[in-house]
Structure 1
């Protein structure tokens, strides 16, 4: 019985559009379906710049339909359930679609309700998130008159793991320009032990932390917000230690509750919210059913083929891959998925293409400065050889800022989403 589509793609974000474009370019006879309900497409890497007042929000949004390749069926519905044994996807709108191969890339969910008090706190004028509304971050910064400005990172996997510290760096610069930095305790709190996991880039970032006078708090896992008292609660997360002792208050007026809870007052709070796979993935047979990756899409980390269903592939933020969830990672994942799908259609085998875990974080450290951290699995540096010959990419540079503000957006809209990069 004929399938509705040779290839059905779930999700029309960066991964979905790039996969559709590259597949269509390589074989225009393929029947490709793309399930994506959103009418607009967002260039999220610019949100950090929007929050700092140096990029216009309207320039991050374009029509989704302008980037769905002609010849690809755009199904404006919500994927809901999977029946992999029947090669079938059902949508919330009551339709079902069959496929020869399935590519799963619906992105990531901002899990606001996973942190008690977060939803209520976001309704106040003191709490913001670049992930949710970067324009509000800018409004909060403009209204801030001093005190504790606290920036946090959750313990869950998140998209663009460097974004929370970028928010802190750019806010530092903004507050200096507005004349209130000397009245501010600027805190960056992370559940981790270091500022950045790739050792070649950590020294330059620690230098940024020290020069800016940012108070770095490691092993601080945010768990709850009290928006009435304007306090955030952290769980002390240092391995092997069940209790914490405050050795340096640094004027923050922190206090310890019980053995391992630290309470910090805030006058401004920026959060990266907890994140997870979308619910319809978590509740599906395609997700890991147990273990540390429970709920995330179960794929081989090199071939990106599903571990239990050979005609299913996954990529992007939803995939359980031990690397940073970024657009740069997707740019390297898409050719692997495309090659493997085409090879399987041809002869049932996989191609020789392998994903190395490549990702990158364009770490904006101030107006006119950016450090481009490129790496692969196991936190091994993987900087572009040409860039390494031309620039010292372990340090913040003006040239990298120009790339971030002008070069990368142009490449995204004109090359990546068109399937030519």
Structure 2
């Protein structure tokens, strides 16, 4: 196997495969290598639906060999480090591989040490996560018989920030159909201060929250999980005691929060210990705390927050001009989604091809576009599309689906999520077509 490539790509996920496919389809590169250790490529956006029992997990997986673009060399190995001065990447089994241009797109990694106790609790008993095992999530949801259903997320960046909400809305729908909601208090606890950063979407989601009688708890930073006693521990990221905000109801066990911290209050059992606030749950869904993969985080290619340091508009590395980064690993202040990658790839490919041909990058600029399909019920969805400034930026193509306003719930958006997007992903996006 050759150990030098004109373009070397780290990662066989959405970003890596799409970049390779577009480079080769348009004959922009003479040799492309893809470093990827996994045997299987997953369509992860459907895992929300798997966790709600309405999509077959096996249909989200294909052999990695089947998605590697024709003409690319699959280096089935793990990248372990960088030597950017020598234009080389270190690997576990193949030693050093050199390149003219490097694309870093290995996705993200989970670091359970950031929330002690979560690693032991997750995918075990009543604690579940669509991010790690959506089949277990569905088992937890369908076997839940009532009590406190806690949906939460860590304070780190995560894949698709809307995902912890989507599964909550679908779970409520399932429980309503099965007469479990009357015996259930649904709590959504987040370190954020609002339900969603785009105003038009937030307005619709608050209507959904009202309809489903969900208790929102803001400024809640998840810091520990006690799986044995079923308590999620939080630090409150705003001072609760200022101005007599905290309401006491007899004892510390029932201390509850003012309206700056919660909406649609439910008197669920809590325990207060020092500056920590523990919510007792009967089932919990969360996202794992996420970081850049270790070999990236420990390299000199990252910013102070530990993510790949690239220009927000060109995706070119801020120190090494022959390195690009995109997808979940990139330090871009937008949501980490496949939809964001769909808009990032053509710009990276354009810049790479111009560098190869003319030793300069192009003028195309990524505006931070991302989208979050927010499923609100079985058969209903809202599509949040937005840019770096959280401007609502709906795709004009939605008009072809007879959808006038994608910030409102619509059954056609559900059809897009469940049927059209997976088809486009496997048959168009991964084949190098712009969609």
After alignment, is 74-83 or 63-72 more displaced? 63-72
Distance in 2 of aligned mates of 1:297 and 1:241: 36
Q: Distance in 2 between matches of 1:31 and 1:273?
A: 36
- Unaligned runs of at least 5 residues, structure 2: 247-255, 259-264
CA distance in 2, matches of 1:255, 1:179: 29
Whole-angstrom CA distance in 1 between matches of 2:373 and 2:215: 22
Residues 37-186 of structure 1: pairs in structure 2 closer than 5 A: 37-122=37-122, 124-186=124-186
Alignment check: 8 A CA contact 1:236 1:242 kept: no
For residue 393 of structure 1, the aligned residue among 402, 406, 412 is: 406
Cα deviations across residues 195-248 of structure 1 (Å, max 9, x unaligned)?
Answer: 00011211000000000001111111111011111111011013x667773237
Pick aligned residue for 1:250 from 266, 277, 281: 266
Asked whether the equivalents of residues 23 and 29 of structure 2 are also in contact (C-alpha less than 8 Å), the reply is no
Which runs of 5 or more structure 1 residues have no equivalent in the other structure? none
**Partner SS state of residue 373, structure 2:** strand
Of 377-386 and 8-17, the range deviating more from structure 2: 377-386
Deviation at residue 153 of structure 1 after TM alignment = 1.6
Report the Cα distance in structure 1 between the residues aligned to 2:41 and 2:66, rounded to whole angstroms. Answer: 9
8 Å CA contact 1:3, 1:100 repeated in 2: no
Q: Does residue 264 in structure 1 map to residue 274 in structure 2?
A: no
Q: What pairs with 1:221-232 in structure 2 (closer than 5 Å)?
A: 221-232=221-232
Aligned mate of 2:297, from 282, 302, 325: 282
Return the offset for 1:352.
1.2
**Cα separation, 2, equivalents of 1:373 and 1:247:** 30
| Structure-2 separation of matches of 1:97 and 1:90 | 6
Tell me if structure 1 keeps the 8 A contact 2:220–2:237. Answer: yes
Tell me the CA shift for residue 29 of structure 1.
5.5
User: 1:24-35 residue pairs with structure 2 within 5 A?
Assistant: 24-27=24-27, 30-35=30-35
CA deviation profile, 1:330-389 (whole Å, cap 9, x unmatched): 000000000000000111111111111000000000100000010000211111134268
Post-superposition, which runs of at least 4 consecutive aligned residues in structure 1 deviate over 4 A? 240-244
- The answer on 1:336 being equivalent to 2:347 is yes
Please give the TM-score of this superposition, normalised by the length of structure 2: 0.92
Question: Which residue in the other structure is 2:428 paired with?
Answer: 415
Higher mean C-alpha displacement, 90-99 vs 356-365: 90-99
Query: Are the equivalent residues in 1 in contact too, given 2:7–2:29 (CA < 8 A)?
Result: no
Residues 89-108 of structure 1: CA distance to partner in whole angstroms, max 9, x if unpaired? 01011521110000000001
> How far did 1:141 drift?
1.2
Contact 2:90 2:97 in 1 (8 A): yes
Residue range with higher mean Cα deviation, 242-251 or 267-276 = 242-251
Aligned counterparts of 1:28 and 1:193: Cα–Cα separation in 2: 45
Distance 2:179 2:240 in 1: 40
* Aligned counterpart, 2:262: none
Is 1:15–1:315's contact at 8 Å kept on the other side of the alignment? yes
Query: SS of the counterpart of 1:255?
Result: strand
Instruction: Give, in whole Å, the separation in 2 of the partners of 1:145 and 1:296.
Output: 41
Q: Is the 8 A contact 2:370 2:386 kept in 1?
A: yes
1:348 lines up with 2:352 in the alignment: no
| Partners of 1:37 and 1:67 in 2: CA distance | 14
Partners of 1:250 and 1:31 lie apart in 2 by: 59
CA shift, 1:391, in A, is 1.9
8 Å Cα contact 2:9-2:20 kept in structure 1: yes
**In the alignment, does 2:12 pair up with 1:12?**
yes
Q: Distance in 2 between matches of 1:270 and 1:397?
A: 25
